[in-house]
A = this chain, B = another copy of it.
Amino acid sequence: MNKKAIVEIEELKEYLKKVEYLSSSISLLHWDSVVNMPKEAIEYRSEMIGYLTGESYKLTTSEKMKEFIDYFNGINDLDDLTKAIIENITKDYNNATKIPEAEYVQYEIDKALSQSAWEEAKKKKDFSIFKPHLAKIIAYNKKFSEYWGFAGNKYDGLLDIYEPGMTTERLDAVFGELRESLVYLLQRIKNSNVKTDDAFLKGNYSVESQRKLGETILGQIGYDYEKRGRIDISEHPFTTNFGNKDVRITTKYDTSDFRPAIFSMIHEGGHGIYEQNIPDELEGTSLGSGASMGMHESQSRFYENILGKSMEFWSYFYPKFQKTYQDLEGVDFISFYRAVNCVEPSLIRIDADELTYSLHIIIRYEMEKLLINSDIDIDDVPRLWNEKYKEYLGVEPENDADGVLQDVHWSGGDFGYFPTYALGNLYGAQIFNKLKEEIPDWNQKIYSGDFLSITKWLKENVHQYGATLKPTELIKKITGEELSAKYFIEYLNDKFGKLYGV
């Protein structure tokens, strides 16, 4: 690179920092609005967020940004980091500018209407109220995908937002394989003689005690909730961050059951560890975060499920829980372990267990693909939804609120987002497989409470790259292979095979 290019890179970085200051400010305004804000401030807060979002949009679509993009796309000997930055900002620029402004403004308005229609529809358990709005939102998303250059399978354009490089073709393959194995495994579990029960876990768990146990776990797995993070309460647990030194998670307590708070803390803690482990050098470059939604979810789900629901993990932590909760004193370890891993096909995604969860996602993936590519009539949506639930999970919704209306995502236009949840499971197991090769005594480490070795390995092999690599590249770099369903299937067959004797 010549001198001018080096100066330009510095200028670009200064510019991207500003974009990041704005998005961090927006994130803080949002975090505060769900964690702290007094009720009556809601309207003014939306105006504040709207204003800053507009300013951020201006920066990412400015003439200046276009000049950066044009300049750097004309240079051949860029270093890898700069190349990744340019690719990333070019994509954001194109995604934003290829949609005509008037159309995007109308989309925002229609989305707001769609979201309130969905709320009403869900309350009244009536899909027909939401139907015309859903049709509109789908039409927008198809058009946007075309604008972005996805002429063939339009669903690819939506996947690409959340999971760069992911395609319907690839997902058909891995999700198809996963679905078959899951349905088969679930069938065998149903037919097994093992009956599981977790009712005895219901009890009396104070918020304070759950918080303390959660902090102990989080500290031990390597999420810094003091000097570089916080744990707060919100209706829906989430993780947010402003740089890598202020990474906050939230949880929600149920005083009759410790599982919602403890497992959501571990899940969000996984997201938090990822963000806290992003190297300083990537801050403010637009690449200082996780590689993709799916890769992020691989970390949260690894900590929550693979680690956090393992025999080894609980053999370390269960005695501490028994010490805190006298009701657990009489519960032997195996009953406890079985209870936290209880499999029970159900209608509601967010209540699903580790095994059936991915089936909920696959149903949504299949529906979205059909909808975006106009392969089904919108009238058939609830029927098809219910049929799939029947076929894959063996349960059938009695009304639309427990069926197709249960999730907010579609009303807000988030098509292509659901698959990342199941992708997280696949990436997670595939990465775990590699980790086991490189840390042969991994289970000994977990038994003894040494979770930091695990986190250190993840930092070196996953977190440190931030978003400099696409998820497709990253999974190959880590494991030497393309994304595969094999490892997650093996993991589930092994774990639940043992639990249910199948």
Please, which residues of chain B bring their CB within 8 A of the CB of A37?
246
- Shortest distance from the beta carbon of A49 to any chain B beta carbon, whole Å: 9
| Cβ-defined contact, A38 with B243, below 8 A | no
Give which listed residue, B18, B28, B40, contacts A29 with CB less than 8 A: B28
B44 touches A242 (CB 8 A): yes
Do B228 and A21 touch (CB < 8 A)?
no
Return chain B residues, CB-CB under 8 Å to A399: none
Provide the residues of chain B in CB contact with A228, threshold 8 Å.
38-41
User: Distance in Å from the Cβ of A36 to the closest Cβ of chain B?
Assistant: 6
Please report the C-alpha to C-alpha distance between residue A198 and residue B280 in the assembled complex, in whole angstroms: 53
Q: Does A434 contact B (CB under 8 A)?
A: no
- Which residue in chain B gives the minimum CB-CB distance to A226? B38
Contact A38 B242 (CB under 8 A): no
A41 nearest CB neighbor, chain B only: B246
Q: Please name all residues of chain B whose beta carbon is closer than 8 Å to the beta carbon of A36 when the two chains form the complex.
A: 36, 230
Residue A323 lies at the interface, judged by CB distance under 8 Å to chain B: no
**For residue A28, which residues in chain B have a CB less than 8 angstroms away from its CB?**
28-29, 32
Complex CA–CA separation, A32 to B243 (angstroms): 15
Cβ–Cβ contact A242 & B41, under 8 A: yes
CB contacts (< 8 Å) of A52 on chain B: these are 21, 25
Q: Quick check: A39 and B243 within 8 Å, CB to CB?
A: no
**Does residue A208 face the partner (Cβ distance < 8 Å to B)?**
no
A227 is an interface residue with CB less than 8 A from chain B: yes
In the bound assembly, the distance between CA atoms of A38 and B52 in angstroms comes to 24
A47 at the interface (CB under 8 A from B): yes
- Kindly state whether residue A51 has any CB partner on chain B within 8 Å: yes
Q: Does A406 contact B (CB under 8 A)?
A: no
Partner of A245, one of B18, B25, B44, B226: B44
Interface string of A39-82 (1 = CB under 8 A from B): 11101110110011001000000000000000000000000000
Cα A37 to Cα B31 with chains together (Å): 12
Interface set, chain A 21-35, CB cutoff 8 A to B: 21-22, 24-25, 28-29, 32
How many angstroms between the C-alpha atoms of A201 and B436 in the bound complex?
63
Residue A229 CB within 8 A of the other chain: yes
Chain B neighbourhood of A226, CB < 8 A: 38-39
Q: Inside 8 A of A22's CB, which chain B residues have their CB?
A: 51
Task: Give the complex CA separation of A55 and B52 in angstroms.
Answer: 11
Task: For A47, list chain B residues within 8 Å (CB).
Answer: 17, 21
Tell me which of B24, B32, B227, B230 contacts A48 (CB under 8 A): B24
Q: Say whether A246 contacts B44, CB under 8 Å.
A: yes
Q: What's the nearest-Cβ distance from chain B to residue A399, in Å?
A: 34
Question: Is there an interface contact between B40 and A25, defined as CB atoms closer than 8 Å?
Answer: no
Of the residues B18, B29, B230, contact of A51 by C-beta under 8 Å: B18
Asked whether, in the complex, the Cβ of A229 is within 8 Å of the Cβ of B38, the reply is yes
Contacts of A39 in B (CB 8 A): 226-228
Taken together as a complex, chains A and B put the C-alpha atoms of A55 and B32 apart, in Å, by: 22
Interface membership of chain A positions 239-279, coded 1 if the CB is closer than 8 angstroms to chain B and 0 otherwise? 00011011000000000000000000000000000000000
Chain B residues positioned under 8 Å from A29 (CB to CB)? 25, 28
A43 to B242, CA, bound (A): 11
| Residues on the B chain within 8 Å of A32, using CB | 28, 32
A21 to chain B: closest residue by CB: B51
Residues from chain B with a CB closer than 8 A to the CB of A283 are 44
CB proximity of A318 to chain B, nearest CB, Å: 30
Complex Cα gap A24–B246 (Å): 21
**A25 touches which of B48, B243, B246 (Cβ 8 Å):** B48
> How far is B245's CA from A43's CA once the two chains are assembled, in angstroms?
9
Inter-chain pairs besides A21-B52, A41-B228, 14 sampled, C-beta below 8 Å: A21-B47, A22-B51, A24-B48, A28-B28, A38-B230, A39-B226, A39-B227, A40-B245, A40-B246, A41-B243, A43-B245, A44-B242, A44-B246, A55-B55
Of all A-B residue pairs in the complex, the 9 with the closest CB atoms, nearest first, are A41-B246, A21-B51, A44-B243, A40-B245, A41-B245, A21-B48, A39-B227, A40-B228, A40-B227
